[in-house]
Amino acid sequence: MEADYVIVGAGSAGCAMAYRLSEAGASVIVVEHGGTDAGPFIQMPGALSYPMNMARYDWGYHSEPEPHLGGRRLATPRGKVIGGSSSINGMVYVRGHARDFDHWAESGADGWGYADVLPYFKRMETWHDGGHGGDPDWRGRTGPLHVSRGRRDNPLVGAFVEAGRQAGYEVSDDYNGEKQEGFGPMEATIWRGRRWSAANAYLRPALKRKNCTLVRGLARKVVIEEGRARGVEIERRGGVEVIAARREVILAASSINSPKLLMLSGVGPAEELRRHGIAVLADRPGVGANLQDHLEVYMQYAARQPITLYRYWNLLGKARVGAQWLFTGAGPGASNQFESAAFIRSRAGIEYPDIQYHFLPIAVRYDGKAAAEGHGFQAHVGPMRSRSRGSVTLRSAEPGDAPVIRFNYMSHDSDWEEFRACVRLTREIFAQDAFAPHVRHEIQPGAACDSDDEIDDFIRAHAESAYHPCGTARMGRRDDPMAVVDPQARVIGVEGLRLADSSVFPRITNGNLNGPSIMVGEKAADHILGREPLARANEVPWIHPAWRVAQR
C-alpha cells in the first residue's frame, strides 16, 4: 500500500489534514489504531463521561506517581478511535487567547502569531451564535467544524455570569472573538444535538473521496532510509507491513504518542534512544520534553433548589434522557452541559487571563460519580500557564508498551500561589447576590478549608488534569537545539517527515486544546501543499486597559 501522504493518527489535526490534502487532489492514507465512533456513548453530548472511561475508546494512559500531588497517578485519556480525543473530550471549543499565539511566534514559531492563525480559525468553523450575541466579524461561516452554544435554559447557567458581573468582572459575548476576558456563554463542537468531532467534520467527508483511505493498525515506527522518511511500519491482522509514502509521512498521533513514535523511529534524545537499543538517526533532545497540561479543581456547592441535573442522575432519568436524544436529538442529552464560562486574571500586572472556569449545573466528577450530597453545581477552575514542565519517554523499545508520562505538576511555587487565588476568587464569585437563592453550602473543599496550608492540602489531594497535554515536540527555528519541528511542521533532521498536532505547541494555550489542535492541522496542510499561507488578519484583540494596576 502506498499514497502521496501517510498520516498517522485520525485525531483533531490528522482528520483536518486528511480533508485538506485529499481536497487538493493528493492521495492520502490515514493510519488509526482505534475503531469506529458509532454508538450513543460518543455521539450523544450528554454522555461525555462514558467514552473517556472506556478502554474501547481510550489508550488508558496514566502518569507516573506525581511527587507534588502526594504520589498520585493521574489518568491521561487519549482517544483511541476515529476522531481521536475529539471523540472522547468534553466538546468545549476555545481558540485560545491572541497573546498565546503571539508568544508562539516570539518563541521561534515564525508565522504562527495571532494575525497568522486567526484566518485558519475562521476557515475551519461554521459558527452558530444560538441567539446569544457574539462577534460575527471574528468568526467563520463556511468551515467543516460546527461550533454552537447550548440552550442556556437552566437558571444556574445565567446566575454564574451575573455573579461574575456583580463581582466586578467583564462580561464577554464571545470569548472566541475580540474579547476573551470575562464571563459569558460557553461554546461547543456540537451540531444538531450530536458531538461534532473531527471525524464527523473532516474525516467522513474526506473518506467519500476516492483518494483518501483509512487503514486500521498500530503504527510501530517511521521507516527512515538515508535520512528520509519512506513510510510507516504498522501492525495489523496479526502481521507487520509497511505503508509507503511517495511524498511525506505526517505524524498526528497526539502529544503522547507522536513523541513516542519519533523515538521508536530513532529521532529523539540520543541517550534515551541508546538506553533502549534504538539506533540514533537524529539526535533531537526536545522530543518528549516540554510536556504541559492544565490542572484544575472542582469547587462544588450544594443547591438550595432542586433545579440541577441531579434529577436525571438515576437509572430511570438516564433512560429518559437517552431515549429523548435517540428519538428527537434534543433534551439534556443534546448538550455537554458546559454552557457558561469565564476567563479572568489572577492579579494585577497580568496582561491577559490566566484562570479559566467551566460551570456545570451538577456536582459530579469526570468519571461520572456524582457528589454524595445530591443536588449541587460546580465550577472547574485552574491556572492556564503553569511553569511546570514534564516529559514523555519510552518504557521500552516495544511499540505496544505505554510510554512513561511525567507531568511534574505543581513543581513551581507560582503554581501554588495561582491555585490558591483560584480557590479564593471562586468563593467570592459564589458569594455574590446572584447565587444567594441557589447556594446552600460549599461541599468541596468546604468552608473549614481556609488557610494556605489547608488549601494546598486540598489541591494536593484533589487537583485533576483537564486533559490538555501538549508541547512534547515543540515548534521553533531550525537552529534551536530544543525545537523538534520548524515553522512548516517539518521534523528537523529528517527529510519527508512532518508532525502536526498539539505536540508542536511551544506553550499551552488559554483554554481547551481541541480548537487549536485542529487549527494546527489546517495550517500545516497549507505548508505541506506548498501553498502561500492565508493572508494575515487585521483584527486587534481586546486587552483590559487597566491590566497593569487592576485585577478586574
* The one catalytic residue among 146, 438, 468, 544: 468
Is 81 one of the annotated binding-site residues?
A: yes
Q: Please tell me the number of Cα atoms within 13 Å of 403 on its side-chain side.
A: 26
Is 91 one of the annotated binding-site residues?
A: yes
Residue with cell 478511535: 81
Handedness of CA 535, 98, 137, 504 (dihedral sign): positive
Helix axes 514-528, 12-23, angle to 10 degrees: 30
Closest CA to 470 of 451, 484, 460, 480: 484
441 is known as an active-site residue: no
DSSP run (H or E) holding 343: strand 340-344
Q: How far apart are CA 371 and CA 362, in angstroms?
A: 9
Is 90 one of the annotated binding-site residues?
A: yes
Is 92 one of the annotated binding-site residues?
A: yes
Is 257 one of the annotated binding-site residues?
A: no
Q: How far apart are CA 147 and CA 92, in angstroms?
A: 9
Helices (H), 431-510: 452-462
Give percent helix, percent strand, percent coil of the chain, each to the nearest 5. Answer: 30, 25, 45
Report in angstroms the alpha-carbon separations of 172 from 132, 177, 180, 404: 11, 9, 7, 40
Q: Which residues contact 330 (CB under 8 A, 6 or more apart)?
A: 193, 324
Can you say which residues are annotated as belonging to the binding site for FAD? Answer: 81, 89-92
Q: What residues act catalytically? A: 468
Can you say which residues are annotated as belonging to the binding site? Answer: 81, 89-92
